[in-house]
Amino acid sequence: MADVISKGTLFDPVLVKELFDKVKGKSSLAALCAQTPIPFNGQKEFIFTMDDEVDLVAENGKKTRGSAALEPVKIIPLKVEYGARISDEFLYASDEEQINILRNFSDGFAKKVARGFDIMAFHGVNPRAKTASALIGTNHFDNGVTVIKQDSTSPKTPDALIEEAIAAVQGNEYDISGLTMAPSFRADLAKMVDTSGRKIYPDLAWGNAPTSMNGIQTVTNNTVSFNSSKDLAIVGDFETAFKWGYSKEIPLKVIEYGDPDNSGQDLQGYNQVYIRAETYLGWGILDKSAFAVIQSAAK
């Protein structure tokens, strides 16, 4: 039987394409912003800040200088991995069965990568450990982005909070290209009724989550409120002020010996093999003033 995979091999390109097509369907950020290739060693995005307006100059008139600042934003790929133990019968299965197993594994890996991407970029935490990551630092939406907070003494309606967040972003001269919200916030919007008792957002009834609301691309995802976060929604210019990318080469290892997940159980002793996949993801918020985070009043 021909070897389908071996130690240190790569996912088949077709599987890689399928994997990231699925990531787009599970990640708020991947859905709201198209990915661009990120070099393995990272890259810098140079952002010009121009506070002045253009100057009208008469013929033979004097030109004046406008103010400008140039700030680099680094986008450094970070490695994420996922591994699982399966029966060593995998090694003796037919080529077709091995491919089926790998497809199922890639399905699960895609979901975890998509979810992890959101969690890291939204909250700056290691998804598994649920603690702040020094590798991410301040490169996340919970740091430095405008916060619109619910008032505990005089609560605002959900759409009033969205309007306030949009006004904050547009006040910084950015357009609104996307909105991602937690399921609880979607439910609060769905409950809203007008003076005659009719639902203001009937498309949200019964748990529906439309991909567009009032002309704005919309994604509902519980990664927004991950780990009891106060975040309810994030709105902003995802198309121009956020960039992300991934490595197209995804290493796949089939480990037959040892204890690769530090579980205390030797693989050979339990007739198992360990499948591990890794990929590199990089992202950067080019201008945090292009976004606003809506948060609950909870302390």
Q: What is the CATH number of the domain that holds 175?
A: 3.30.2320.10
Q: For residue 240, give Cα distances in angstroms to 143, 166, 208, 236, 289.
A: 19, 16, 28, 10, 12
- Output the pLDDT for position 2: 42
pLDDT digits (tens, 9 = 90+) for 194-208: 999 999 999 998 989
* Integer Cα distance of 69 and 52 in angstroms: 11
In a domain, 56, yes or no: no
* Integer Cα distance of 288 and 251 in angstroms: 33
The β-bridge partners of 146 are: 292
Identify the three-state secondary structure at position 189.
helix
pLDDT digits (tens, 9 = 90+) for 226-264: 998 999 999 999 999 999 988 777 888 888 999 999 999
Per-residue pLDDT at 18 exceeds 90: no
In a domain, 55, yes or no: no
Percent pLDDT > 70 in the chain is 87
In a domain, 2, yes or no: no
Model confidence band, residue 103 (pLDDT cutoffs 50, 70, 90): confident
Question: To which residue do tokens 């990272």 refer?
Answer: 42
Domain coverage including residue 261:
9-48+71-295
Q: For residue 222, give Cα distances in angstroms to 166, 190, 227.
A: 21, 16, 10
Q: Please count the structural domains in the chain.
A: 1
* Integer Cα distance of 185 and 231 in angstroms: 10
Model confidence band, residue 6 (pLDDT cutoffs 50, 70, 90): low
The answer to whether 146 and 185 are in contact (CB under 8 A) is: no
In a domain, 61, yes or no: no
In a domain, 252, yes or no: yes
Q: What is the DSSP letter of 199?
A: B
> What is the 3-state composition of the chain as percent helix, strand, coil, each rounded to the nearest 5?
30, 25, 40
The answer to whether 36 and 42 are in contact (CB under 8 A) is: no
pLDDT digits (tens, 9 = 90+) for 137-164: 999 999 999 999 999 888 999 999 999 9
- Output the pLDDT for position 1: 37
For 92, the token pair is: 């003796």
Question: To which residue do tokens 């204890």 refer?
Answer: 259
In a domain, 164, yes or no: yes
Model confidence band, residue 110 (pLDDT cutoffs 50, 70, 90): confident
In a domain, 176, yes or no: yes
Determine the distance from the C-alpha atom of residue 43 to the mean position of all C-alpha atoms in its chain, rounded to a whole number: 19
Query: Phi and psi (nearest 5°) for 169?
Result: -70, -45
Q: For residue 138, give Cα distances in angstroms to 125, 144, 205.
A: 10, 8, 37
The answer to whether 119 and 29 are in contact (CB under 8 A) is: no
Q: Please name which of 144, 181, 161 lies closest in space to residue 287, comparing C-alpha atoms.
A: 144
In a domain, 209, yes or no: yes
For 245, the token pair is: 């990318």
How many degrees, rounded to 5, is the angle at CA 49 between CA 48 and CA 51?
145
- Output the pLDDT for position 95: 77
